[in-house]
């Protein structure tokens, strides 16, 4: 197997055996984010495909998620950071009912490496908890993540609840079940402030930079 194929296979097999040696190899050739967005995400896409076809069970997907998380943590110290003063404070959360957090945590790493102060509320965060955190932290924006189809609908409800609580800071949303159109027409329609869709973590950084400028 090539290095790239091996990297994808650690995620597919959910194993860390040999992973870090190969990540070191990969760092000689690629930027950390190229490794994540390339071979590691290819592996995750294959896990998703196999899972969808009932060829993997949840316990195996969890192993894959562990391998992905370990890879991202290993690569994190190698990522570029900007030594600027804090640009803005952003609360991040995976919405109520959803446990997927690898994408959200990647967004946290990228934003905090680029001058943002992040308050990560974790997974399955109900609107009430977001509102409470908003009052306590006074963030400049709120970032919501969700991968399930029902999470897209949960974002609409969350936007309504935030609006009813008088909140109108920009909301950044991301996750596989969303689209730009859904974000604009469904989530945006329920909220007074800006609602922006990020297709990936880097796009999330671009949008955060636009909001905070
Ligand atoms: Co789940 N899962 N899962 N899962 N899982 C999906 C999402 C699924 C598409 C798999 C499939 O069937 N093909 C499917 C959803 C179907 C649907 O609703 N359309 C699914 C399902 C069904 C489920 C369960 C219901 C399974 C079950 O129990 N029967 C269950 C749900 C539990 C729940 O949430 N209540 C479940 C559970 C799990 C595990 C716990 C086993 C594990 C998650 C572990 C964890 O996160 N700690 C898991 C995993 C790993 C996946 C897949 C395979 C991979 C997700 C992932 O981590 N990708 C996934 C299939 C797939 O996506 N290929 C799948 C890597 C990550 C870096 O990408 O999160 O997309 P992603 O983030 C991207 C962008 O979306 C974006 O940036 C990131 C990249 O740069 N982004 C943002 C995301 N959030 C953002 C926020 C932003 C900006 C950008 O700003 C705020």
- pLDDT single digits (tens) 158-204: 999 999 999 999 999 999 989 999 999 999 999 999 999 999 999 99
Phi, psi of 116 (to 5 degrees): -100, 145
Question: Taking 90 as the threshold, does the pLDDT of residue 80 lie above it?
Answer: no
pLDDT at site 212: 86
pLDDT at site 166: 98
How much of the chain, in percent, has pLDDT values that exceed 70? 100
Which uninterrupted H or E stretch holds 91? strand 88-94
How many other CB atoms are found less than 10 A from the CB of residue 13? 15
**pLDDT tens digits, one per residue of 43-61:** 999 999 999 999 999 999 9
Give residue ranges with CB within 6 A of ligand 1: 44-45, 47-48, 51-52, 58, 61-62, 64-65, 92, 97-104, 106-107, 143-145, 147-149, 172, 174-177, 198, 200-201, 204
Angle between helices 3-13 and 58-75 (to 10 degrees): 130
Q: Catalytic annotation on 100? A: yes
- Non-local (6+) Cβ contacts of 96 within 8 A are 124, 125, 126, 127, 154, 158
């Amino acid at each position: 197997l090539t290095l790239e194929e091996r990297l994808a296979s650690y995620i597919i097999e959910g194993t860390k055996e040999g992973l870090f040696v190969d990540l070191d190899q990969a760092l000689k050739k690629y930027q950390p984010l190229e490794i994540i967005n390339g071979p590691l995400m290819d592996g995750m896409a294959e896990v998703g495909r196999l899972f969808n076809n009932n060829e993997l069970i949840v316990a195996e997907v969890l192993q894959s998620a562990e391998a992905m998380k370990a890879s991202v943590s290993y690569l994190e110290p190698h990522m570029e950071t900007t030594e600027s003063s804090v640009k803005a404070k952003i609360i991040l959360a995976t919405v109520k009912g959803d446990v997927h957090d690898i994408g959200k945590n990647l967004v946290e790493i990228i934003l905090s490496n680029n001058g943002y102060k992040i308050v990560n509320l974790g997974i399955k965060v109900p609107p009430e908890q977001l509102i409470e955190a908003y009052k306590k932290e006074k963030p400049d924006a709120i970032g919501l993540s969700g991968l399930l189809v029902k999470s897209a609908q949960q974002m609409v409800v969350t936007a309504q609840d935030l609006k009813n609580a008088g909140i109108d800071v920009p909301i950044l949303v991301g996750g596989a079940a969303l689209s730009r159109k859904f974000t604009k027409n469904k989530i945006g329609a329920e909220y007074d402030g800006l609602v922006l869709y990020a297709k990936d973590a880097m796009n999330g950084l671009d949008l955060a930079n636009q909001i905070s400028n």
